Structure 1
Amino acid sequence: MDKAPLVSIITVVRNDAERLLTTIQSLTPYKGSRVEFVVVDGASTDGTLAVIESHRDLVDRYVSEPDRGLYDAMNKGISLATGKYLLFLNAGDELLTDLESMVQAAPETAVLVHGRANMFDQQGSLRYVKGKRIKSLRRFLKGMPLCHQTALYRRDVIPHYDLRFKVMGDRVMTYTLLRKQGLKNACFVDRLMVNYYEGGLSWSFGEDFLREEEKLFYRSVGKRHYIAIKYLNAVFKHRIKLPLLRLLKKK
């Protein structure tokens, strides 16, 4: 019987000891011999390393050193991991299901296995549940159609994250993977996988930055015309649709 890890959980963290502990506690019931746990720490100066060291029975390997940002740290995680599939679980997010059975529910050819996530706001209130079968790659041109923390990527085909991106690297990487491997090789399993909590890195950037990064995404994947489409949609919304709705509301 193959005893190699089937899944590697990769958690990237820096100075976030309390939320890292939350994540470790959540995955403890699902940490079997075929689930590997890798932590990439960005040279924390708080109690993060103490949390890692006190859970070495769960942490299979870790590194603590400076990095060039979130996606550089995730790339390090890819290099450290040995599992067939990789799951990126942020510090603070909570695992809700057995990952081995999740992978076994998908075809052997699947390069991406994904499920559903409870999406909580920063106050801890459940906003909605995200996750369904992706019917078209065009969905990535409108936004990220799945929660990154519910995506199990096959390690032998996953591209590295593009370090030009600060926020949308997961969207870019997933789109690039599926465009090359084919959407037929993505498998949706209708199961709650994680509790995801808003308030991470992406929430620290303003709208102008996010618009410019999305333009970079469109240019990098050869979809430059979507820049114009997004602009025209925004003009229609703010200059025609919203004023018309306000006018009708007054009547």
Structure 2
Amino acid sequence: MKVSIITSCFNREATIGDAIESVLSQTYPDIEYIVIDGASKDNSWAVIQRYKEGIAQMVSERDRGMYEGINKGLKRATGDIIGLIHSDDFLFSKETIAHIVRKFEETGADLVYGNGLFVDAKDTQKVVRNWISGSYSKGKMKRGWLPLHPTVYIRRECIERLGMYDESFKIAADSDFLVRYLYEGNLKVAYLDEYIVRMRMGGLSTDPEKMKQKWAEDLRMYRSHGFSPYLTLGMKILSKIPQFISAKLMKKGAI
């Protein structure tokens, strides 16, 4: 079973190497790694080129944002299963992809998702949010539940049927993508109760203006899918609180 992993990058010279190394160090042998750089103005492309022997496809050209970059990667992907690793993030362990593939094989799922850790941007061993996705149901989605996006792996045939990311969303395209697949796609879904990824905190999580933009896009997205937008968004925001509490308990050794 071939796995395609896509990384979209723009001006991430400090972190893109960690993302790439986490993919290239996987024990699972059949990985097609695709890196799409948006014509970075820093040294990102130079860092990416250091790993060219392990990257199946690498492109550097201007785009209109992260989701266009991801869509470019999806069009190039030839794997049976497709997943993402963002340029600020890295896979949790060297066995992560092997465990994901085993879950697909054991369950016959169309889509597998798991758990993730948000970590301090400078100290990646310091956990800031502990995202335990939990079990899947369509009813939970109307109450704001979604799995952590970079933990989601999908069969390519489902992407060909259900479509790529809606680039009219600049921030919430990932949420729209997940709602389309998990709420409307009638897929067989499996939960892998393991950590899949470590994600550096920063950017959107610390930028009030971008957070307002994301909420506005979330409202538009939920409305387009027939959800009660304000109720669903409110419950989604509240659902984050236990993740911060859980991270603090992890630090204290309580869990």
Conserved 8 A contact 2:144-2:234: no
1:39 alignment counterpart: 35
Query: Which aligned runs of 4 or more in structure 1 are off by greater than 6 angstroms?
Result: none
Q: Tell which structure's C-alpha radius of gyration is larger.
A: 1
Q: Name which of structure 1's ranges 114-123 and 66-75 shifts more when overlaid on structure 2.
A: 114-123
Does residue 78 of structure 1 match 2:70?
A: no
- Equivalent residue number for residue 152 of structure 1: 153
Tell me which amino acid in the other structure corresponds to 1:118.
L
- How many angstroms does 1:134 deviate by? 3.2
Aligned counterparts, 1:1-251, within 5 A: 6-30=2-26, 32-97=28-93, 98=95, 99-106=97-104, 107=106, 109-122=108-121, 124=123, 125-143=126-144, 145-158=146-159, 159-182=163-186, 185-201=188-204, 203-204=206-207, 205-223=209-227, 225-227=228-230, 229=231
Q: What's the % identity of the aligned pairs?
A: 28
Q: Which runs of 5+ in 1 are unaligned?
A: 234-251
- Closer, same or farther: CA 232–170 of 1 in aligned 2, 3 Å: closer
Report the CA distance shift for 1:207/1:91 in structure 2 as closer, same or farther (over 3 A): closer
Deviation per residue, 1:16-52 (Å, 9 max, x gap): 1221011122223206541111001001122111112
The answer to whether the 8 A contact 2:136-2:191 is kept is no
Secondary structure in 1 aligned to 2:14? helix
Range that drifts further, 150-159 or 202-211: 202-211
Amino acid at match of 1:155: R
Q: For the structure 1 residues 144 and 23, does the alpha-carbon distance in structure 2 shift closer, same or farther, using more than 3 Å as the test?
A: farther
Quick check: 1:6–1:100 contact (8 Å CA) kept in 2?
no
CA RMSD of aligned residues (A): 2.4
SS at 2:133's partner residue?
coil
Aligned residue number for residue 246 of structure 1: none
Count how many residue pairs are aligned between Structure 1 and Structure 2. Answer: 226
User: What amino acid maps onto 2:134 in structure 1?
Assistant: R
Normalised TM-score (structure 2): 0.79
Shift of 1:142: 4.0
